[in-house]
Amino acid sequence: MGIISIILGILAIGIIALIHEVGHYFFARRAGIRVLELSIGAGPKIFSFTKNETQYTIRPIPFLAYVRLDEDGNGSLSDATVFQRFLLYIGGVFFNLMTALFILTLIGVFSGIYTDNIIVGDVAKDKPAYNVLERNDQIVAINDTKVNGYAALETQLNKYGNTEIELTVLRSNKEENLNIIPVLDKESDRYVLGFFFAKEKLNIFTSITNSANMIWDYVSQTFVMLGNLVTGQANPSANLVGIVGIVAISSDFTSKFSDYMLFIAVISIGMAVVNILPIPALDGGKIVLLGVEKIIGRKVNKEFEAKLTIIGFALLIMLMVFTTVNDLLNLFGG
């Protein structure tokens, strides 16, 4: 893990944290709530300027950001309606998800993604596919049986084994039939042709749909995992990652620009999921209190809300300490 990867990892977290806070800032402005400060980073103030009653600051801790609102009086948070406050609290999550959707869509259009279509990429010189298959060939059938995706291809290759098969491929939008004999890969004990899958570039509308589905799958799987953690069906040490772990993982995503953007998109989704959890001090916890306020017909007692917030912060600090220690143990093999 080089210094550049560390810097890029921290930068990615900082960017997503700022986007989250800009979401709060945007909906606060829309509701007429005074924003006292929008800070990039945390800690002592390095630089600041004021515009339209809002102080914009830069602080040294790069992976944090925050918005400070006016809490009392006309044009303050306490003066806003339940719906306005709901939009304010959900705004950060919304901006994170839209950022992920935007990035994933661009990746699908310009860089491409792996799909169920079997597109040929690089071909190994010592394998059967060499001089038979070409880059960007799409395998659509084996012995007249349609194949869609890696699992279907593997099933058909293992079915016929070391016998000649007929591949139907799309090459330059024309169907061609090619004869080839799979070979047994001793390491995986599976029959292979000897090529790597290539990414497929999508049109803008397909990419938007595909990206939305990816986000939905990621969010739903994350909630399932969190549910398993709560019920004891999953191991926290194996499934929870903190800031140190995220920065360490970044080294796997900094060699290509598209991979780095994917890394940012995943962090953005993760931040949205964490903040929507119904934990006091997080956006999800505040939204729960809004629901209580709507049911009882009056605002929740401020002292009670403050106590819940303290409890929430304590839980978050404990979680941060646990994940940091866990990340360091995993990183250094403890």
Residues 103 and 13 in one domain: yes
- What is the predicted pLDDT for the residue at 333? 61
Residues 223 and 105 in one domain: yes
Distances (CA, A) of 129 to 97, 178, 217, 256: 41, 10, 34, 27
**Distance in angstroms between the alpha carbons of the first and the last residue of the chain:** 18
- Per-residue pLDDT 10s for the chain (334 aa) are 578 888 999 999 999 999 999 999 999 999 999 999 999 999 999 999 999 999 999 999 988 999 999 998 888 999 999 999 999 999 999 999 999 999 999 999 999 999 889 999 999 999 999 999 999 999 999 999 999 999 999 999 999 999 999 999 999 999 999 999 999 998 889 999 999 999 999 999 999 999 999 999 999 999 999 888 888 888 887 778 887 788 888 878 888 899 999 999 999 999 999 999 999 889 999 999 999 999 999 999 989 988 998 998 898 888 888 888 888 787 776 5
281: left (phi over 0), alpha (psi -120 to 50) or beta: left
* Domain end call among 171, 197, 223: 197
The CATH number of the domain holding residue 129 is 2.30.42.10
- What is the predicted pLDDT for the residue at 329? 80
Residues 30 and 152 in one domain: no
Residues 98 and 45 in one domain: yes
* Burial bucket for residue 282 (CB in 10 Å: 0-12, 13-18, 19+): buried
Calculate Rg over the CA atoms of the chain: 25
Q: Structurally, how many domains does the chain consist of?
A: 2
Residues 64 and 144 in one domain: no
Alpha carbon 106 to its chain's center: 14
- What is the predicted pLDDT for the residue at 236? 84
Contacts of 199 (CB under 8 A, 6+ apart): 111, 112, 113, 114, 119, 121
Residues 73 and 127 in one domain: no
* Domain end call among 197, 215, 241: 197
Residues 313 and 217 in one domain: yes
Nearest-angstrom CA–CA distance, 263 and 5:
12
Residues 142 and 157 in one domain: yes
Instruction: Provide the β-strand partners of residue 251.
Output: none
pTM of this structure:
0.87
Residues 231 and 275 in one domain: yes
Segments forming the whole domain that contains residue 55: 3-112+204-332
Residues 132 and 190 in one domain: yes
Count Cβ atoms below 10 Å from residue 65 Cβ, excluding itself: 26
Residues 123 and 106 in one domain: no
Contact 156, 182 (CB under 8 A): no
Instruction: Provide the β-strand partners of residue 66.
Output: 39
Q: What angle do CA 83, 19, 38 make, to 5 degrees?
A: 80
Contacts of 169 (CB under 8 A, 6+ apart): 120, 133, 137, 138, 139, 140, 175, 176, 177, 178
Residues 53 and 84 in one domain: yes
* Domain end call among 197, 215, 238: 197
Contact 316, 324 (CB under 8 A): no
